[in-house]
Chains A and B, each alone.
Chain A
Amino acid sequence: MSTQTEKLNSIVSKNYEAGFYTDVEQDSLPPGLNIETIKAISRKKREPNWLLDWRLDAYDKFKKMQEPQWAHVKYDPINIQDISYYSAPKNDSEKPKSLEEVDPKIIETYEKLGIPLEEQKMLAGVAVDVVFDSVSVHTTFKEKLAEAGVLFCSFSEAVLEYPEIVRKYLGSVVPSRDNYFTALNSAVFSDGSFAYIPENTKCPMELSTYFRINAMNTGQFERTLVVADRGSYVSYLEGCTAPRRDENQLHAAVVELIALDDAEIKYSTVQNWYPGDENGVGGIYNFVTKRGDCRGKNSKISWTQVETGSAVTWKYPSCILRGENSSGEFYSVALTNNKQQADTGTKMVHLGKGTTSTIISKGISAGSSQNSYRGLVRIARTAEGARNFTQCDSLLLGNRSAAHTFPYIECKNSSAQLEHEASTSKISEEQLFYLRSRGIPQEDAVNLIVNGFCKEVFKELPLEFAVEAQKLLGISLEGAVG
């Protein structure tokens, strides 16, 4: 038994494949945050005044706010004055018009990551917007999307080209005052992605954003805004990586989703930010606010996340179920290894009649990591006939890891029905022996069991992403079991 544990421990030495750094000339602002920084960002982006005012208002709020302390994570305080709030590949200060104008080194970077910008993506039917440090470098398939009336571009472009849509929805789901990091993001965000799906349109391909932090001492503060108009459907994918560095870097993004009547948004994330080394040095602080607003009746928002990266994760993709019979889903796999810490989960706020939500969360803790599920299901007095089903399972690999579950259930309507189930256990030695006696080596057997444990979540991912996620899980567990 104890040898089993030792072996489990010894396998935890992971290999971060996306840890390389790309040497391109950067146009960066010096570290520091003040009104001038914000004005400079806004100027670089040639933003209209209303947006600058919005940023300054957020900054005002930010100054009065405190960093939240309630999550089950410990980290050295962030000095927001040490961060550079703008960094862009230099050749790119003028946004490239075509792929030829993008620095070949950046294209190479993405190829290494398996995100080719080239047209072969056509086969996969995925349109990609790529955000490199602070700016968006390329959006593929714009024309094909335009035919369908789908607007998909970088956030900066959207501000200039579709100001009325941006202005209408920006901050309407996640107000800048929501929390410390949203206020910071609202003040300094440099780019991000924007998508608008017009009425009764099924987006002809999957939309995808790829985020990468490259420069040193840079924080990434992107914003994503997805609006699905009446009767539309979109599936949106998001991936993230960063180079291996000894310093911690801050990623404080905001994602806002709006689904109007009968619309559906499916948002999938594979988060593989650099997690730090096995001693907990370096890695990304991933402090992200993601929220979807099911504003219209029968609308649906579904979050699927596979979280394997980041030194510290603080993230709760949520749904506000406002529209009658709207529904929210949250499927999550969170794997922590070595010294990683994750406090992640969801909030389902039921306001409308007949609203339903489903939460499936799978936590895997290996090494000396801390993995917490934190969730809130709130049924308001108005949410007649609301339903929720929650299942949170935790798997422990190795005796130094920890797994926690903090589910908040608040119910004010007597016709609501809520069910919550949770379990925590270590990987079963009997299952391991069974597979090994069939000739499957221990490490593969652990992988099989862990993948089986996550199956319910993986099946929610688009196929290509699911394969990616399984591979990532295998890499992240490498050395975790022996």
Chain B
Amino acid sequence: MKQNFNRILLQSQSLGDSEPEWLKCKREEAIESINSIGFPTTRNEEWKYTPLDEIYQTELEIPVDADNVLSTDTLESASLVNEPNLFKIILINGKYSRELSDLEVTKSAPNVRPLEELIENEPEAAKFLFSSDPRETFSWLNTAMARDALLITCPENRTIQKPIHLLNIMTGKRNKLVSPRIIIEANANSKLTLIEEFVNLLPDKSLMNAATFINAKPGSLVNHHRISGSSSGYHVGNLHCKVSQDANIFTTSLAFGGNVTRININVRLEQPGASCNLSGLFLGVKDELIDHHTTIEHAASETNSNEVYKGVMGGKSKGVFNGKVLVEENIHHVKASQNSNNLLLSDVAEINTKPELEIYSDDVTCAHGATVGQLDADSTFYLRARGIPEKVAKRILVEAFLEEALSQLPVESVKTELMKIISKSNTL
């Protein structure tokens, strides 16, 4: 069943002939790990609601240079983000495109270096791009397959004023497996905002398997927004964040469209004073399956976390949210709150949610809540009694429901786009 995946793994090994030894080694290790554990199926607790059989059965190709071409017109229409005042970093099929990116060389810009450049100039720094090794199949798959990787650093004490827009585009011909890999280093007391967007221009059965690593050093503040909103395709996103002393991460995930979307977010609060705020929004209008699995690890005393995820499922869509909060042994003064709120707007849609707490220390205040329901009938009636047509009334209420998860997003155009999807949909 998964021979197609095995074939592509073999193929990838032959592509990497010119790579340095350490990297070949890393990739081999990753492949070995995959072979020992295998690809997940619905029998696996973490994947019980998310079947991937279809993509396992598809013959996927690794993109070649000829695939990595894109006209400026296509590029402009592909993105949901239309704000002018942004730093732009473009990756085509996971490969950094210097030509299409827009990073005026000023002191306030982030430092952006792709794998090849680092191997040539700073071989030690290059190793850093592959140093993280989350124990999870799709992260290993990314390690094995990512032909490029991008290191974005924000120097100590610097505030990058303009948001950085990281646009990942999957394009070319035939079904592809694309593996973007991005490492973000926010050095001590730095501040930055990132909008990571994933766009698929390929047929249904392509897989974007992205891996993003964020390292928030002491006192830094990282605002991160993740958008996966293509009309089709499979998307697996892995986001791994480490938060140091008194650093703070805000990360939002917006997921809509696509065939199957699975996003794993892991935030580890490593030192005292570290905190994180996770928010998310997932929206299904036809037959999408959107699955978020988040883990927040409190590994130090005086750490705080706050999480709000909102799902709106219409049509025949299926939403999954699994949020785990873990408090490790022997730590003190931990606060964690988690909420999963869901609207089920069609009789054939489905939602599965599991807010988990795993607590190994006693000095904690943890709370979670989950709700599933429909729009409040009284509120709908109230609006209609004021002369607002039912459909509009419902849209207004859905927008209000989503507002909390969208409030942190620095780009208006994405909100507008989302609202368009909501108002166009017949199933909400």
A407-424 vs B: 1/0 string, CB under 8 Å?
111111111111111111
Is A459 part of the binding interface, using a Cβ–Cβ cutoff of 8 Å?
A: no
CA distance in complex: A421, B344 (Å)? 19
Which among B45, B346, B367 has the highest number of chain A CB atoms within 10 Å? Answer: B367
Q: Are B344 and A423 neighbours in the complex by a CB distance under 8 Å?
A: no
A: contact size bracket: 35 or more
Is A239 part of the binding interface, using a Cβ–Cβ cutoff of 8 Å?
A: no
Q: Are B359 and A415 neighbours in the complex by a CB distance under 8 Å?
A: no
Q: Are B350 and A411 neighbours in the complex by a CB distance under 8 Å?
A: yes
Residues of B contacting A418 in the complex (Cβ-Cβ under 8 angstroms): 370-373
Within B363-398, the residues touching A (CB, 8 Å) are 363-374
Q: Are A411 and B352 neighbours in the complex by a CB distance under 8 Å?
A: yes
Is A425 part of the binding interface, using a Cβ–Cβ cutoff of 8 Å?
A: yes
Question: CB < 8 Å: which of B344, B349, B357 contacts A424?
Answer: B357
Task: Give the nearest-CB partner of B45 in chain A.
Answer: A70
Within B332-351, the residues touching A (CB, 8 Å) are 342, 344-351
Q: Are B359 and A406 neighbours in the complex by a CB distance under 8 Å?
A: no
Is A346 part of the binding interface, using a Cβ–Cβ cutoff of 8 Å?
A: no
A390-413 vs B: 1/0 string, CB under 8 Å?
000010111101111111111111
Q: Are A406 and B344 neighbours in the complex by a CB distance under 8 Å?
A: no
Question: CB < 8 Å: which of A397, A405, A409, A414 contacts B353?
Answer: A409
CA distance in complex: A416, B352 (Å)? 13
Q: Are B347 and A414 neighbours in the complex by a CB distance under 8 Å?
A: yes
Number of residues of chain B lying within 8 A (CB) of chain A: 34
Q: Are B356 and A401 neighbours in the complex by a CB distance under 8 Å?
A: no
Is A61 part of the binding interface, using a Cβ–Cβ cutoff of 8 Å?
A: no
Q: Are A409 and B370 neighbours in the complex by a CB distance under 8 Å?
A: yes
Is A142 part of the binding interface, using a Cβ–Cβ cutoff of 8 Å?
A: no
Q: Are B359 and A413 neighbours in the complex by a CB distance under 8 Å?
A: no
Q: What's the nearest-Cβ distance from chain B to residue A283, in Å? A: 22
Task: Give the nearest-CB partner of B365 in chain A.
Answer: A425
Residues of A contacting B348 in the complex (Cβ-Cβ under 8 angstroms): 381
Q: What's the nearest-Cβ distance from chain A to residue B426, in Å? A: 15
CA distance in complex: A416, B363 (Å)? 36
Residues of A contacting B367 in the complex (Cβ-Cβ under 8 angstroms): 421-424
CA distance in complex: A415, B364 (Å)? 36
Question: CB < 8 Å: which of A398, A414, A421 contacts B345?
Answer: A414
Q: What's the nearest-Cβ distance from chain B to residue A410, in Å? A: 5
Q: What's the nearest-Cβ distance from chain A to residue B34, in Å? A: 23
Is A46 part of the binding interface, using a Cβ–Cβ cutoff of 8 Å?
A: no
Task: Give the nearest-CB partner of A375 in chain B.
Answer: B354
Within B237-294, the residues touching A (CB, 8 Å) are none
CA distance in complex: A424, B345 (Å)? 32
A sample of 10 cross-chain residue pairs with beta-carbon separation below 8 angstroms, ordered by A number, consists of: A70-B45, A396-B361, A399-B330, A402-B358, A409-B353, A409-B372, A413-B347, A414-B346, A419-B371, A424-B357
**Closest 10 A/B residue pairs (Cβ):** A396-B362, A420-B370, A426-B362, A418-B372, A405-B357, A414-B344, A424-B366, A417-B373, A423-B367, A402-B360
